[in-house]
A and B are shown apart, each in its own frame.
Chain A
Amino acid sequence: DAKTTQPPSMDCAEGRAANLPCNHSTISGNEYVYWYRQIHSQGPQYIIHGLKNNETNEMASLIITEDRKSSTLILPHATLRDTAVYYCIVRVPYSGGGADGLTFGKGTHLIIQP
């Protein structure tokens, strides 16, 4: 089973910030939080990852709570092309695969409304 919990779906207005939550209450100290997204009929795409500090790149920002039990992915100015399923996963880098290594749950289906 996935080690993360996400809402099944969310709506966001175009141009607004989309904030996608993820709970990972059983995360261990050496596990990173990764976010991927999957646009319809495409393979998943990496977005961002982090350990405990907040991270930002050209696609998104990742806010991780101090206790690391939850995080939020922020798309600052959502566009229609951001409509996708967003997956939050936790893993230890430099580890193998396995059922725990990179298990993707059902993610959050983010729908950007025009």
Chain B
Amino acid sequence: GAGVSQSPSNKVTEKGKDVELRCDPISGHTALYWYRQRLGQGLEFLIYFQGNSAPDKSGLPSDRFSAERTGESVSTLTIQRTQQEDSAVYLCASSLLGGRLFFGEGSRLTVL
């Protein structure tokens, strides 16, 4: 597709389970970002990938969170041993280096 695609759009899981969220960036975009947005809050930066450089993980809230990206393609955000406070919309964005961000529609995670 022409835009950033995220899946699943909705995920309900039980506390303690692991979840994987996927992001397909716009083809050719070297930069990829993950954000978390809790209900009624702003966007919280999580992690940034740029080409083959080491990712900027400075926003990851704990070691339960990790993300991978192979080259300039798909990225996966993994949350291990989910907690209720992980409930949020997880947004992915991609861009050309230094360009404007194009966001996906997000993955809504609910941890029961």
Proximity string of chain B (20-34) to chain A, C-beta cutoff 8 Å, 1 when within and 0 when not: 000000000001010
Measured as residues with beta carbon below 8 angstroms from the partner, the interface class of chain B is: 20 to 34
Taking the complex as formed, is A50 at the interface, i.e. its CB lies under 8 A from any CB of chain B?
A: no
- Residues A98 and B58 in contact, CB atoms below 8 Å apart: yes
| A44-B91, A96-B48 known; A102 vs B101 contact (CB < 8 Å) | yes
Per-residue B-contact encoding for A24-60, CB less than 8 Å = 1, 0 else: 0000000000101000001111100100000000000
Q: Is the CB of B42 within 8 A of A106?
A: yes
CA gap between A24 and B13 in the complex, in Å: 40
Contact with A along B81-101 (1 / 0, CB 8 A): 000000000010100011111
A20 nearest CB across to chain B (Å)? 15
**Which residues of chain A have C-beta atoms less than 8 A from B102's C-beta?**
46
Contacts of A44 in B (CB 8 A): 43, 91, 93, 101, 103
Known contacts A96-B50, A97-B56: A49-B100 contact under CB 8 Å: yes
